[in-house]
Structure 1
Amino acid sequence: MSGCCHNDRTIDKLRERQRGTLLIVLGINAVMFLVIAGAALYGNSTALLADSFDNLGDALTYGLSLYVVYRETSAKAKVAIFKGILILVGALVVAAQAIYKLIVPSMPIFEVMGIFSLIALAANSACLFLLWRHRFEDVNMSSVWECSRNDIATNLSVFLAAGAVWFTGSGWPDIAVAIALVWFLVRSSVRVISSALVELRAT
Protein backbone atom coordinates (compact mmCIF):
# COMPACT_ATOMS: atom_id res chain seq x y z
CA MET A 1 0.00 0.00 0.00
CA SER A 2 2.84 2.38 0.93
CA GLY A 3 4.52 1.53 -2.37
CA CYS A 4 1.37 2.50 -4.23
CA CYS A 5 1.20 5.84 -2.40
CA HIS A 6 4.87 6.45 -3.14
CA ASN A 7 4.26 5.80 -6.84
CA ASP A 8 1.30 8.20 -6.82
CA ARG A 9 3.42 10.92 -5.20
CA THR A 10 6.18 10.34 -7.75
CA ILE A 11 3.72 10.66 -10.65
CA ASP A 12 2.20 13.80 -9.13
CA LYS A 13 5.65 15.39 -8.79
CA LEU A 14 6.45 14.47 -12.40
CA ARG A 15 3.22 16.04 -13.61
CA GLU A 16 3.86 19.19 -11.60
CA ARG A 17 7.30 19.51 -13.16
CA GLN A 18 5.79 19.03 -16.61
CA ARG A 19 3.11 21.62 -15.90
CA GLY A 20 5.65 24.19 -14.70
CA THR A 21 7.83 23.72 -17.77
CA LEU A 22 4.86 23.90 -20.15
CA LEU A 23 3.64 27.16 -18.61
CA ILE A 24 7.04 28.78 -19.20
CA VAL A 25 7.44 27.62 -22.79
CA LEU A 26 3.82 28.52 -23.56
CA GLY A 27 4.48 32.10 -22.47
CA ILE A 28 7.71 32.31 -24.46
CA ASN A 29 6.10 31.05 -27.67
CA ALA A 30 3.00 33.25 -27.37
CA VAL A 31 5.18 36.35 -27.06
CA MET A 32 7.51 35.23 -29.85
CA PHE A 33 4.58 34.64 -32.22
CA LEU A 34 3.50 38.27 -31.88
CA VAL A 35 7.06 39.57 -32.22
CA ILE A 36 8.08 37.39 -35.19
CA ALA A 37 4.75 37.79 -37.03
CA GLY A 38 5.08 41.56 -36.79
CA ALA A 39 8.66 41.36 -38.05
CA ALA A 40 7.64 39.05 -40.91
CA LEU A 41 4.95 41.44 -42.10
CA TYR A 42 7.28 44.43 -41.81
CA GLY A 43 10.17 42.61 -43.48
CA ASN A 44 8.00 40.96 -46.16
CA SER A 45 9.52 37.54 -45.43
CA THR A 46 7.69 34.28 -46.07
CA ALA A 47 10.35 32.26 -44.25
CA LEU A 48 10.02 34.49 -41.17
CA LEU A 49 6.24 34.17 -41.41
CA ALA A 50 6.68 30.38 -41.34
CA ASP A 51 8.76 30.84 -38.21
CA SER A 52 6.00 32.87 -36.54
CA PHE A 53 3.32 30.29 -37.35
CA ASP A 54 5.61 27.66 -35.90
CA ASN A 55 5.62 29.63 -32.64
CA LEU A 56 1.82 29.99 -32.73
CA GLY A 57 1.44 26.26 -33.32
CA ASP A 58 3.77 25.59 -30.42
CA ALA A 59 1.85 27.93 -28.10
CA LEU A 60 -1.37 26.08 -28.95
CA THR A 61 0.44 22.78 -28.55
CA TYR A 62 1.75 23.67 -25.10
CA GLY A 63 -1.68 24.86 -24.05
CA LEU A 64 -3.19 21.53 -25.10
CA SER A 65 -0.35 19.69 -23.40
CA LEU A 66 -1.14 21.50 -20.14
CA TYR A 67 -4.74 20.34 -20.50
CA VAL A 68 -3.78 16.67 -20.62
CA VAL A 69 -0.90 16.61 -18.09
CA TYR A 70 -3.17 14.99 -15.48
CA ARG A 71 -5.17 12.86 -17.90
CA GLU A 72 -4.83 9.25 -19.03
CA THR A 73 -2.57 8.06 -21.84
CA SER A 74 -5.38 7.77 -24.38
CA ALA A 75 -6.30 11.45 -23.89
CA LYS A 76 -2.64 12.43 -24.32
CA ALA A 77 -2.43 10.41 -27.53
CA LYS A 78 -5.58 12.06 -28.93
CA VAL A 79 -4.22 15.53 -28.16
CA ALA A 80 -0.89 14.57 -29.76
CA ILE A 81 -2.83 13.73 -32.94
CA PHE A 82 -4.42 17.17 -32.82
CA LYS A 83 -0.97 18.72 -32.37
CA GLY A 84 0.18 16.91 -35.50
CA ILE A 85 -2.82 18.32 -37.38
CA LEU A 86 -1.94 21.85 -36.17
CA ILE A 87 1.60 21.43 -37.48
CA LEU A 88 0.16 20.33 -40.84
CA VAL A 89 -2.19 23.35 -40.99
CA GLY A 90 0.77 25.65 -40.35
CA ALA A 91 2.65 24.00 -43.20
CA LEU A 92 -0.29 24.58 -45.56
CA VAL A 93 -0.51 28.27 -44.61
CA VAL A 94 3.17 28.77 -45.34
CA ALA A 95 2.85 26.85 -48.62
CA ALA A 96 0.02 29.18 -49.68
CA GLN A 97 2.15 32.22 -48.86
CA ALA A 98 5.09 30.79 -50.82
CA ILE A 99 2.86 30.18 -53.86
CA TYR A 100 1.61 33.77 -53.62
CA LYS A 101 5.21 34.99 -53.58
CA LEU A 102 5.95 32.95 -56.70
CA ILE A 103 3.05 34.63 -58.48
CA VAL A 104 3.74 38.11 -57.07
CA PRO A 105 7.52 38.30 -56.46
CA SER A 106 8.80 40.70 -53.80
CA MET A 107 12.08 41.40 -52.01
CA PRO A 108 12.25 40.71 -48.25
CA ILE A 109 14.33 42.86 -45.88
CA PHE A 110 17.25 40.57 -45.06
CA GLU A 111 18.30 42.60 -41.99
CA VAL A 112 14.90 42.01 -40.38
CA MET A 113 15.05 38.31 -41.28
CA GLY A 114 18.51 37.88 -39.78
CA ILE A 115 17.97 39.81 -36.55
CA PHE A 116 14.61 38.32 -35.68
CA SER A 117 15.60 34.78 -36.63
CA LEU A 118 18.43 35.06 -34.07
CA ILE A 119 16.04 36.44 -31.44
CA ALA A 120 13.70 33.52 -32.11
CA LEU A 121 16.64 31.11 -31.98
CA ALA A 122 17.61 32.36 -28.52
CA ALA A 123 14.02 32.02 -27.25
CA ASN A 124 13.52 28.57 -28.72
CA SER A 125 16.90 27.35 -27.45
CA ALA A 126 15.72 28.26 -23.95
CA CYS A 127 12.53 26.26 -24.55
CA LEU A 128 14.50 23.28 -25.85
CA PHE A 129 16.74 23.38 -22.79
CA LEU A 130 13.72 23.41 -20.46
CA LEU A 131 12.01 20.53 -22.30
CA TRP A 132 15.12 18.34 -22.63
CA ARG A 133 14.53 16.36 -19.43
CA HIS A 134 10.89 15.67 -20.35
CA ARG A 135 11.43 14.36 -23.89
CA PHE A 136 10.97 10.63 -23.09
CA GLU A 137 8.46 10.85 -20.23
CA ASP A 138 5.23 10.23 -22.22
CA VAL A 139 3.64 10.75 -25.65
CA ASN A 140 2.44 14.20 -24.63
CA MET A 141 5.91 15.51 -23.73
CA SER A 142 7.55 13.67 -26.63
CA SER A 143 5.35 15.54 -29.11
CA VAL A 144 6.13 18.81 -27.32
CA TRP A 145 9.83 18.05 -27.60
CA GLU A 146 9.37 17.36 -31.31
CA CYS A 147 7.80 20.79 -31.82
CA SER A 148 10.58 22.53 -29.92
CA ARG A 149 13.31 20.77 -31.87
CA ASN A 150 11.64 21.85 -35.11
CA ASP A 151 11.87 25.47 -33.96
CA ILE A 152 15.67 25.40 -33.80
CA ALA A 153 15.93 24.08 -37.36
CA THR A 154 13.40 26.68 -38.53
CA ASN A 155 15.30 29.58 -36.94
CA LEU A 156 18.62 28.50 -38.41
CA SER A 157 17.03 28.09 -41.84
CA VAL A 158 15.58 31.60 -41.76
CA PHE A 159 18.95 33.04 -40.70
CA LEU A 160 20.67 31.27 -43.60
CA ALA A 161 17.95 32.52 -45.94
CA ALA A 162 18.61 36.08 -44.78
CA GLY A 163 22.28 35.67 -45.67
CA ALA A 164 21.38 34.23 -49.06
CA VAL A 165 18.97 37.10 -49.80
CA TRP A 166 21.73 39.58 -48.96
CA PHE A 167 24.33 37.72 -51.03
CA THR A 168 22.18 37.18 -54.12
CA GLY A 169 20.09 40.35 -53.97
CA SER A 170 17.07 38.17 -54.69
CA GLY A 171 13.95 37.04 -52.84
CA TRP A 172 14.26 33.46 -54.08
CA PRO A 173 16.19 32.14 -51.04
CA ASP A 174 13.33 33.31 -48.81
CA ILE A 175 10.84 31.29 -50.88
CA ALA A 176 13.17 28.27 -51.14
CA VAL A 177 13.65 28.09 -47.37
CA ALA A 178 9.91 28.52 -46.80
CA ILE A 179 9.21 25.57 -49.12
CA ALA A 180 11.87 23.48 -47.33
CA LEU A 181 10.24 24.33 -44.00
CA VAL A 182 6.88 23.20 -45.37
CA TRP A 183 8.39 19.77 -46.07
CA PHE A 184 10.01 19.74 -42.63
CA LEU A 185 6.72 20.61 -40.91
CA VAL A 186 4.77 17.99 -42.89
CA ARG A 187 7.30 15.32 -41.97
CA SER A 188 7.11 16.32 -38.31
CA SER A 189 3.31 16.23 -38.44
CA VAL A 190 3.33 12.70 -39.85
CA ARG A 191 5.80 11.56 -37.18
CA VAL A 192 3.79 13.03 -34.28
CA ILE A 193 0.49 11.61 -35.56
CA SER A 194 2.01 8.18 -36.23
CA SER A 195 3.51 7.96 -32.72
CA ALA A 196 0.21 9.03 -31.18
CA LEU A 197 -1.76 6.44 -33.19
CA VAL A 198 0.61 3.70 -32.02
CA GLU A 199 0.12 4.84 -28.41
CA LEU A 200 -3.66 5.01 -28.88
CA ARG A 201 -3.83 1.48 -30.26
CA ALA A 202 -1.74 0.22 -27.34
CA THR A 203 -4.26 1.65 -24.86
Structure 2
Amino acid sequence: MTCCQHDSCDARPLADTGAHRRVLWLVLAINLVIFGGEFGVGWVASSSAVQGDSLDSLGDALVYGISLLVVGRSLRARAMSALTKGALQVAFAVVVMAEVVYRLSHGVPPATALMSLAAAGALVLNGACLALLTRYRADDINMHSVWQCSRNDVIGNAGVLVTSGLIAWTGWWWLDLIFGAALAALFLKTGWSVIRAAVPMVRTSAA
Protein backbone atom coordinates (compact mmCIF):
# COMPACT_ATOMS: atom_id res chain seq x y z
CA MET A 1 0.00 0.00 0.00
CA THR A 2 1.27 3.47 -0.81
CA CYS A 3 1.46 6.31 1.67
CA CYS A 4 -1.33 8.25 -0.03
CA GLN A 5 -3.78 5.52 0.96
CA HIS A 6 -3.31 6.09 4.67
CA ASP A 7 -4.95 9.00 6.49
CA SER A 8 -2.13 9.31 9.01
CA CYS A 9 0.37 9.88 6.23
CA ASP A 10 -1.83 12.21 4.18
CA ALA A 11 -2.58 14.53 7.06
CA ARG A 12 0.98 15.10 8.20
CA PRO A 13 2.71 18.40 7.37
CA LEU A 14 5.03 18.64 4.41
CA ALA A 15 8.62 17.83 5.24
CA ASP A 16 10.33 20.53 3.18
CA THR A 17 8.18 22.80 1.00
CA GLY A 18 11.25 24.60 -0.35
CA ALA A 19 12.73 21.34 -1.62
CA HIS A 20 9.37 20.35 -3.09
CA ARG A 21 9.12 23.60 -5.03
CA ARG A 22 12.65 23.32 -6.39
CA VAL A 23 12.22 19.75 -7.63
CA LEU A 24 8.78 20.49 -9.11
CA TRP A 25 10.09 23.48 -11.08
CA LEU A 26 12.94 21.35 -12.43
CA VAL A 27 10.78 18.41 -13.52
CA LEU A 28 8.20 20.80 -15.01
CA ALA A 29 10.86 22.34 -17.27
CA ILE A 30 12.18 18.90 -18.26
CA ASN A 31 8.70 17.67 -19.19
CA LEU A 32 8.01 20.70 -21.38
CA VAL A 33 11.20 19.93 -23.30
CA ILE A 34 10.18 16.27 -23.64
CA PHE A 35 6.69 17.21 -24.85
CA GLY A 36 8.01 19.53 -27.56
CA GLY A 37 10.51 16.98 -28.83
CA GLU A 38 8.27 13.92 -28.70
CA PHE A 39 5.18 15.57 -30.13
CA GLY A 40 7.12 16.83 -33.15
CA VAL A 41 8.81 13.48 -33.73
CA GLY A 42 5.57 11.57 -33.16
CA TRP A 43 3.79 13.69 -35.76
CA VAL A 44 6.54 13.22 -38.35
CA ALA A 45 6.91 9.50 -37.55
CA SER A 46 3.12 8.87 -37.57
CA SER A 47 3.43 7.10 -34.22
CA SER A 48 0.47 6.88 -31.83
CA ALA A 49 2.78 5.56 -29.12
CA VAL A 50 5.17 8.54 -29.33
CA GLN A 51 2.37 11.10 -29.58
CA GLY A 52 0.60 9.50 -26.63
CA ASP A 53 3.84 9.61 -24.69
CA SER A 54 4.29 13.30 -25.56
CA LEU A 55 0.79 14.13 -24.33
CA ASP A 56 1.62 12.39 -21.08
CA SER A 57 4.62 14.71 -20.70
CA LEU A 58 2.43 17.74 -21.36
CA GLY A 59 -0.05 16.45 -18.81
CA ASP A 60 2.77 15.98 -16.32
CA ALA A 61 3.97 19.54 -16.87
CA LEU A 62 0.44 20.73 -16.05
CA VAL A 63 0.39 18.41 -13.04
CA TYR A 64 3.68 19.80 -11.73
CA GLY A 65 2.38 23.34 -12.20
CA ILE A 66 -0.74 22.52 -10.19
CA SER A 67 1.41 20.85 -7.54
CA LEU A 68 3.53 23.99 -7.21
CA LEU A 69 0.39 25.99 -6.42
CA VAL A 70 -0.53 23.77 -3.46
CA VAL A 71 2.88 23.07 -1.89
CA GLY A 72 2.60 23.92 1.80
CA ARG A 73 -1.16 24.49 1.64
CA SER A 74 -3.98 22.66 3.41
CA LEU A 75 -4.85 18.99 3.02
CA ARG A 76 -8.00 19.99 1.13
CA ALA A 77 -5.99 22.04 -1.39
CA ARG A 78 -3.56 19.18 -1.93
CA ALA A 79 -6.39 16.65 -2.27
CA MET A 80 -8.16 18.89 -4.82
CA SER A 81 -4.86 19.13 -6.71
CA ALA A 82 -4.58 15.34 -6.80
CA LEU A 83 -8.20 15.09 -7.94
CA THR A 84 -7.45 17.44 -10.84
CA LYS A 85 -4.39 15.39 -11.78
CA GLY A 86 -6.44 12.22 -11.82
CA ALA A 87 -9.01 13.83 -14.10
CA LEU A 88 -6.22 14.97 -16.46
CA GLN A 89 -4.88 11.43 -16.68
CA VAL A 90 -8.34 10.14 -17.60
CA ALA A 91 -8.74 12.89 -20.22
CA PHE A 92 -5.41 12.02 -21.83
CA ALA A 93 -6.44 8.36 -21.93
CA VAL A 94 -9.42 9.39 -24.06
CA VAL A 95 -7.24 11.52 -26.37
CA VAL A 96 -4.73 8.71 -26.92
CA MET A 97 -7.47 6.18 -27.67
CA ALA A 98 -8.97 8.59 -30.22
CA GLU A 99 -5.54 8.85 -31.89
CA VAL A 100 -5.25 5.05 -31.96
CA VAL A 101 -8.64 4.74 -33.66
CA TYR A 102 -7.62 7.38 -36.22
CA ARG A 103 -4.35 5.61 -37.03
CA LEU A 104 -6.14 2.28 -37.26
CA SER A 105 -8.62 3.63 -39.79
CA HIS A 106 -5.89 5.26 -41.92
CA GLY A 107 -3.30 2.46 -41.69
CA VAL A 108 -0.19 4.68 -41.48
CA PRO A 109 2.97 2.73 -40.48
CA PRO A 110 5.28 4.55 -38.03
CA ALA A 111 8.91 5.46 -38.70
CA THR A 112 10.68 3.21 -36.21
CA ALA A 113 14.05 4.99 -36.25
CA LEU A 114 12.43 8.26 -35.20
CA MET A 115 10.32 6.41 -32.61
CA SER A 116 13.44 4.92 -31.04
CA LEU A 117 15.30 8.22 -31.04
CA ALA A 118 12.44 10.07 -29.35
CA ALA A 119 11.84 7.33 -26.79
CA ALA A 120 15.51 6.99 -25.87
CA GLY A 121 15.90 10.71 -25.25
CA ALA A 122 12.68 10.89 -23.26
CA LEU A 123 13.64 7.82 -21.20
CA VAL A 124 16.87 9.46 -20.07
CA LEU A 125 15.13 12.70 -19.11
CA ASN A 126 12.16 11.03 -17.44
CA GLY A 127 14.48 8.70 -15.57
CA ALA A 128 16.16 11.79 -14.14
CA CYS A 129 12.73 13.18 -13.13
CA LEU A 130 11.79 9.92 -11.42
CA ALA A 131 15.07 9.87 -9.50
CA LEU A 132 14.51 13.46 -8.36
CA LEU A 133 10.95 12.78 -7.18
CA THR A 134 11.46 9.38 -5.54
CA ARG A 135 12.76 10.72 -2.22
CA TYR A 136 9.62 12.86 -1.82
CA ARG A 137 6.99 10.35 -2.95
CA ALA A 138 5.84 9.44 0.60
CA ASP A 139 5.55 13.02 1.89
CA ASP A 140 1.88 13.54 0.97
CA ILE A 141 -0.73 12.78 -1.71
CA ASN A 142 0.43 15.75 -3.78
CA MET A 143 4.01 14.52 -4.12
CA HIS A 144 2.96 10.89 -4.41
CA SER A 145 0.68 11.67 -7.34
CA VAL A 146 3.43 13.50 -9.25
CA TRP A 147 5.78 10.58 -8.58
CA GLN A 148 3.16 8.24 -10.08
CA CYS A 149 3.02 10.39 -13.20
CA SER A 150 6.80 10.28 -13.55
CA ARG A 151 6.84 6.51 -13.07
CA ASN A 152 4.26 6.14 -15.85
CA ASP A 153 6.48 8.22 -18.12
CA VAL A 154 9.43 5.88 -17.65
CA ILE A 155 7.21 2.85 -18.31
CA GLY A 156 5.84 4.55 -21.42
CA ASN A 157 9.27 5.46 -22.80
CA ALA A 158 10.62 1.96 -22.25
CA GLY A 159 7.53 0.53 -23.92
CA VAL A 160 7.93 2.76 -26.96
CA LEU A 161 11.55 1.63 -27.32
CA VAL A 162 10.54 -2.03 -27.19
CA THR A 163 7.63 -1.44 -29.57
CA SER A 164 9.77 0.37 -32.13
CA GLY A 165 12.32 -2.45 -32.02
CA LEU A 166 9.65 -5.09 -32.55
CA ILE A 167 8.12 -3.15 -35.46
CA ALA A 168 11.54 -2.75 -37.11
CA TRP A 169 12.20 -6.48 -36.65
CA THR A 170 8.80 -7.90 -37.65
CA GLY A 171 7.24 -5.17 -39.79
CA TRP A 172 4.07 -5.40 -37.69
CA TRP A 173 3.24 -1.67 -37.59
CA TRP A 174 -0.01 -2.30 -35.72
CA LEU A 175 2.07 -3.02 -32.60
CA ASP A 176 2.32 0.77 -32.32
CA LEU A 177 -1.47 0.94 -32.00
CA ILE A 178 -1.55 -1.84 -29.43
CA PHE A 179 1.01 -0.05 -27.30
CA GLY A 180 -0.82 3.25 -27.71
CA ALA A 181 -3.98 1.56 -26.41
CA ALA A 182 -2.03 0.01 -23.52
CA LEU A 183 -0.64 3.44 -22.65
CA ALA A 184 -4.17 4.84 -22.61
CA ALA A 185 -5.20 2.03 -20.25
CA LEU A 186 -2.30 2.90 -17.94
CA PHE A 187 -3.35 6.57 -17.91
CA LEU A 188 -6.90 5.52 -17.07
CA LYS A 189 -5.81 3.20 -14.26
CA THR A 190 -3.50 5.79 -12.71
CA GLY A 191 -6.06 8.57 -13.01
CA TRP A 192 -8.76 6.46 -11.41
CA SER A 193 -6.51 5.37 -8.53
CA VAL A 194 -5.56 8.99 -7.78
CA ILE A 195 -9.21 10.07 -7.93
CA ARG A 196 -10.23 7.26 -5.56
CA ALA A 197 -7.54 8.30 -3.07
CA ALA A 198 -8.32 12.02 -3.31
CA VAL A 199 -12.14 12.02 -3.08
CA PRO A 200 -12.34 10.78 0.55
CA MET A 201 -9.76 13.39 1.59
CA VAL A 202 -11.74 16.18 -0.08
CA ARG A 203 -14.88 15.02 1.74
CA THR A 204 -13.11 14.69 5.09
CA SER A 205 -11.46 18.10 4.85
CA ALA A 206 -14.78 19.73 3.93
CA ALA A 207 -16.56 18.26 6.95
TM class, shorter-chain normalised?
over 0.9
Q: 2:163 aligns with which of 155, 161, 164?
A: 161
Taking the aligned partners of 2:14 and 2:129, their CA distance within structure 1 comes to 22
Query: Which residues in structure 2 correspond to 1:44-193 (within 5 Å)?
Result: 44-193=46-195
Question: C-alpha separation between the residues in 2 aligned to 1:60 and 1:117?
Answer: 21
Task: Give a deviation string over 1:137-191, Cα, whole Å, max 9, x none.
Answer: 0111011011011011100111111011111213111001001111111000001
The Cα offsets for residues 18-73 of structure 1, whole Å up to 9 and x where unpaired, read as: 00000000000011100110010111100000110000000000000000003111
In structure 2, distance between residues paired with 1:32 and 1:163: 21
Distance 1:109 1:123 in 2: 22
Larger radius of gyration, structure 1 or 2? 1
Task: Report the TM-score, using the length of structure 1 for normalisation.
Answer: 0.92
Native 8 Å contact 1:54 1:151 kept in 2: yes
For structure 2, list consecutive stretches of 5 or more residues without a partner in the other structure. 1-12
Distance 2:43 2:14 in 1: 43
Q: Which runs of 4+ in 1 moved over 6 A?
A: none
Name whichever of 11-20 and 26-35 sits farther off. 11-20
Instruction: Please give the secondary structure, in 2, of the residue aligned with 1:70.
Output: coil
**Separation in structure 1 between the aligned mates of residue 91 and residue 14 of structure 2, nearest angstrom:** 34
Distance in 1, matches of 2:168 and 2:147, equals: 33
CA contact (8 A) 1:139 1:199 kept: no
2:36 paired residue number: 34
> What secondary structure sits across from 2:56 in the alignment?
helix
Deviation at 1:195, TM superposition (A): 1.1
> What is the rounded CA distance, in whole Å, between the counterparts of 1:14 and 1:160 in structure 2?
38
**Are the structure 2 counterparts of residues 129 and 93 from structure 1 closer, same or farther at C-alpha, using a change threshold of 3 Å?**
same
The match for 2:19 is 17
> 2:14–2:139: 8 Å Cα contact kept in structure 1?
no
Identity %: 38
Give the residue type in structure 1 aligned to 2:52.
A
